[in-house]
Structure 1
Amino acid sequence: MALPPKFAGQRLIPTKGAGASSFPSQPLHTVEIFLDYVCPFSAKIYNTLYTSLFPALAADPSGLGSKLQFIFRHQVQPWHPSSTLTHEAGLAVQRLAPTKFWDFSAALFKDQKAYFDVSLVNETRNETYKRLAKLASQSVGVAEKEVYELLTIPTEAADDGSLNVGNAMTNDLKVVIKMARLVSVHVSPTVIFDGVVAGDVSSSWTVEQWLEFLKKSTA
């Protein structure tokens, strides 16, 4: 969970001769955004953040962007079966090329209708993974074969007879799901600012509304 900068004294980085110098001089405000790749409202808020807010913060003369850190939180929603598959793909890209994760997320949201229920109801799980791996290759240049190897489900039982074998991203998926459950997030998108749910944030917010909220919250 995030620690509000005003409580920075509660944090200590254990280094040699730990003391006052071990406290970060400029702790950051943390914006956690819980998103589902197949949720239209998540796509809407992500597009505003990615295409408008982040560039605006980077160019803000007041240095507002330097006070903030944004964390993408995977909000897997089981009533959308493909939510699991798309988030596994996001995690796979994160593992193979961490710096391309946000760009790949943008590509996933842009192409999200291709992973809605009706779009893949007649497609096998591994066929969907193949499309996701291809998207990773075409959108951010991550090797298609490497992504697919992390996602594919074996077609035969394991040596011990196990059938629920998952894939190479299953354990990572479990971790990010636990993170959401620990803070009782249900609705997507959900924004948590410095550890507290910001219930007034809307997926319909403009970049101007975001900037107003962030300036007020970091004052």
Structure 2
Amino acid sequence: MYADTLTWGHGPRTFEVFLEPTCPFSVKAFNKFDDLLAQAGPERITLKIRLQSQPWHLFSGVVVRCVLAAATLDGGKESAKAVLAAVAAHREEFEFKDHATGPNRDATPNDIIARLEGYSGLALADAFANPDLQHAIKWHCKYARQNGIHVSPTFMIDGLVQPDMSSGDSVADWLARLE
């Protein structure tokens, strides 16, 4: 099993963003990536999405596994991006109210997988169930830990954490940092 890397562009400046897919701030950052790549151009930057599962987002592990399962399907990283976009567009259906209550307390992991399949148009269940997918999940987790990443979104430029960058920054602000 091979999970495609979540990398777009091929420029000399590397912009890595650690995201938890159901985090509202990660969604805010994710929604700017297409604009960032369009403005910068794929020859100027390399954008890498790293997944940062967080336990206070209670379906985080299931959603992260679905994103990486999608990366093993035809379309690879674009399939994974479609799952991230589905979560971003319907975030409340993958999160608990106040991280503890609400209708999702009755949802099962299979419900979450089925919702993501419906919104993304991808068949995720079989890839999700493949035990070899654990290697990709552990890689993302270890990589984040090795770089001192604890929360999402966290931004790195050329391997250095940028603690003063945020999802609230404009694309123009990000571009200025990448020049």
Q: TM-score, normalised by structure 1?
A: 0.68
Partner residue in 1 for 2:31: 47
* 1:120/1:128 contact within 8 Å kept: no
Q: The residue matched to 1:107 in structure 2 has which SS? A: helix
Q: Percent identity?
A: 28
Q: Report how far residue 204 of structure 1 moved.
A: 0.7
Partner residue in 1 for 2:108: 124
> Which ranges of structure 1 fall in alignment gaps of 5 or more residues?
1-25, 59-64, 153-165
Name the amino acid aligned to 1:205: D
Aligned equivalents of 2:60, 2:39: Cα separation in 1: 30
Partner residue in 2 for 1:11: none
One of 172, 180, 191 as aligned partner of 2:144: 180
* 1:35/1:73 contact within 8 Å kept: yes
* 1:34/1:190 contact within 8 Å kept: yes
Aligned equivalents of 2:39, 2:54: Cα separation in 1: 31
Partner residue in 2 for 1:150: 127
Q: The residue matched to 1:45 in structure 2 has which SS? A: helix
From the superposition, tell whether residues 109 and 27 of structure 1 become closer, same or farther in structure 2 (CA, over 3 Å).
closer
Partner residue in 1 for 2:64: 87
From the superposition, tell whether residues 119 and 171 of structure 1 become closer, same or farther in structure 2 (CA, over 3 Å).
farther
Check if 1:109 corresponds to 2:109: no
What root-mean-square deviation, in Å, do the aligned CA atoms of Structure 1 and Structure 2 show?
A: 2.0
One of 9, 22, 33 as aligned partner of 1:38: 22
Aligned equivalents of 1:27, 1:42: Cα separation in 2: 23
Instruction: Select the structure that is richer in helix.
Output: 1
From the superposition, tell whether residues 105 and 82 of structure 1 become closer, same or farther in structure 2 (CA, over 3 Å).
same
* 1:32/1:193 contact within 8 Å kept: yes
Deviation by residue 1:134-157 (Cα, 9 ceiling, x = unmatched): 2231xxxx3x2xx111225xxxxx
Q: Report how far residue 55 of structure 1 moved.
A: 1.6
Aligned equivalents of 1:103, 1:136: Cα separation in 2: 6
Which shows bigger deviation, 34-43 or 105-114?
105-114
Aligned equivalents of 1:125, 1:208: Cα separation in 2: 38
Q: Report how far residue 171 of structure 1 moved.
A: 3.1
Partner residue in 2 for 1:196: 160
- Runs of 4+ in structure 1 off by over 6 angstroms are none
From the superposition, tell whether residues 91 and 210 of structure 1 become closer, same or farther in structure 2 (CA, over 3 Å).
same
Q: Report how far residue 172 of structure 1 moved.
A: 2.2
Q: Report how far residue 99 of structure 1 moved.
A: 4.0
User: Which has the higher relative contact order, 1 or 2, with Cα contacts under 8 A spaced 6 or more apart?
Assistant: 2
Aligned equivalents of 1:56, 1:47: Cα separation in 2: 14
Which shows bigger deviation, 128-137 or 99-108?
99-108
Q: The residue matched to 1:71 in structure 2 has which SS? A: strand
Name the amino acid aligned to 2:126: E
Q: Report how far residue 43 of structure 1 moved.
A: 0.6
Deviation by residue 1:93-134 (Cα, 9 ceiling, x = unmatched): 111021412243222212211101234210122222222222
Name the amino acid aligned to 1:78: P
Q: TM-score, normalised by structure 2?
A: 0.82
Bigger Cα Rg: 1
